[in-house]
Amino acid sequence: MTVSVKEIIELAPHNLLWASGALLFAASLAWSRRIGQARSLLWGALRMMLQLLAVGYALRWIFAARHPLPTLLMLLVMGGFALQIMAGRLRHKLPGFYRIVSTSLLAGCGGITLYFCLLVIGPSPWYDPRYLIPLAGMIIGNSINGACLAVERFAAEMTERRAEIETALCLGASCRMACQGPLRNAFQAALLPSINTMAAMGVVSLPGMMTGQILSGTDPLTAVKYQIAIMCAIVGSVALTSALLLLQGYRAYFTEAHQLRC
Amino acid sequence: MSSPAAAVLRIEGLGKNRVDEQGSQVAVLRDVELSLFAGRITVVIGPSGGGKSTLIRLLNRLEEASKGRVLLDGQDIRRYDPLQLRRQVALLAQKPFVFSGTVLENLQRPFQFQGRIPPPGNDPQLRELMELCQLPVSWLQRDAGSLSVGQQQRLCLVRSLATGPEVLLLDEPTSALDRPTVDGLAVSLRAVCRKRQLAVLLVTHDLHLAEIIADDLAYLEDGRILEQGNAAEVLGRPRTPALQRFLTPPTRERN
């Protein structure tokens, strides 16, 4: 089985300029037809470019350093940003937010990332940033999305289904039993995007990571194997992080005496 | 009021404060003293917003009292495990809530919540209770959501009583029902209270219901009990101007 392995075509600055032409065209159309969003589009694109360039230089430096400390630092920064993004969406919906979310992220995303890197791929050295950082990025990115969906759904259901929950409490249910319905629906909301993505994968969409590997000259079958492995890790982490978050978070809605907090 | 038997539930100096929008403490219940006896129905009447629902919610610890204490069989309810307490002190809410599923499945839910074996549909005790509450046994396999509000309230009554509580609390159980349905429910309540020797507390602003059902009666306004005693005596000779006002123009209360 031989596949000709070619080096990827390097993009020169003028190539990037041409690429941004697509976006500039869309923005100018939006501006000239007065349908709005032109400014947001341009600002978003500028931000994206700067963030990516910065991370590109940082990664180049971390890869060259070959030391666990910068890698760890990078992971911490990523985790910190994840926490901030979630705080913006969820802080008011979950009492005790920081403690619950940080432990769930650490155990869910951190646990799965380490398990995956050390046991499934096993790079040497074990902290090889070329594997650890991009994998952690994909795992965290998907997990915070799932976790946000879970908490948002749970918070909404706890308000909507108040009568049901109090009825259950009055009939002698523990708070865990009383919010079984909201927990189930919240967990489903967290997993639905992952399950849909898996269903569409390969049939409708070629996933980004696989596309990237193929573009850089990797044998498609190797890329597919990586994609299968990373999808398992991502979905596992989405499920684990959301479940930990929900199973700790529901308690925040109740007192020790199985009473709903107002 | 002066029953020689010991009270099943004794409320002593009960008070509840809430924090209002300005952030200051407001008393919604003050110094409530009340006793419930086995086989007797005590009705608390009074205008809406007088603290009636709050009183009920303190008795099975859906909320915590700020002052005073409640004794169930002589023991402070705060010393009970809240889950155990709610198995002995049932609460029927204003709006009936039925879980999705059949009538039988609804009746089995509390047993599942309490980790007990749910009774089958032909359980004689369950059937007797259904008969007392006029919930036809032939409905067991019907979808609970398809019942009318009045029928759902009966289902909720049977569901609350199926696990055998000592005390039954009812929070405005008839506010969504029409007059004939109210009368029917009152008959059921009286029957089940006598037969099961339940201590019943019912709060309502419906004077008609109070008249036909109460053994003992208390009048609650602005968080205070202004009058209480034997229902016929209190309703027949109201002493306080507040209760006289509440009783006299019947048209005013019918909203």
With beta carbons under 8 A apart, name residues in chain B contacting A177: 113
Taking the alpha carbons at both ends of chain A, their separation in whole angstroms is 65
Nearest-neighbour CA in chain B from A94: distance (Å): 21
Phi and psi, residue B72, nearest 5°? -110, 120
- Per-residue pLDDT of chain A (262 residues), as tens digits, is 445 556 778 888 888 889 999 999 999 999 999 998 899 899 999 999 999 999 999 999 999 998 899 999 999 999 999 999 899 888 888 888 899 999 999 999 999 999 999 899 988 888 899 999 999 999 999 999 999 999 999 999 999 999 999 999 999 999 999 999 999 999 999 999 999 999 998 888 888 888 888 888 899 999 999 999 999 999 999 999 999 999 999 999 999 999 998 7
With beta carbons under 8 A apart, name residues in chain A contacting B90: 170-171
CB contact under 8 A, A164 and B60: no
CB contact under 8 A, A259 and B63: yes
d(CA B223, CA B46): 10
With beta carbons under 8 A apart, name residues in chain A contacting B97: 163-164, 167
With beta carbons under 8 A apart, name residues in chain B contacting A258: 82-83
For an interface test with A, the pick among B28, B77, B97, B161 (most A C-beta atoms closer than 10 Å) comes out as: B97
Tokens of B254: 């019918």
Residue of A nearest to B100 (CA): A164
Continuous H helices in A66-110 = 68-90, 97-105
Tokens of A38: 């032109």
d(CA B151, CA B181): 9
d(CA A207, CA B182): 63
Strand order in the sheet with B224-230: B89-92, B167-171, B199-204, B41-45, B216-221, B224-230
CB contact under 8 A, B113 and A173: yes
Residues B67-100 have pLDDT tens digits of: 999 999 999 999 999 999 999 999 999 899 999 9
Residue of B nearest to A258 (CA): B82
d(CA A19, CA A54): 19
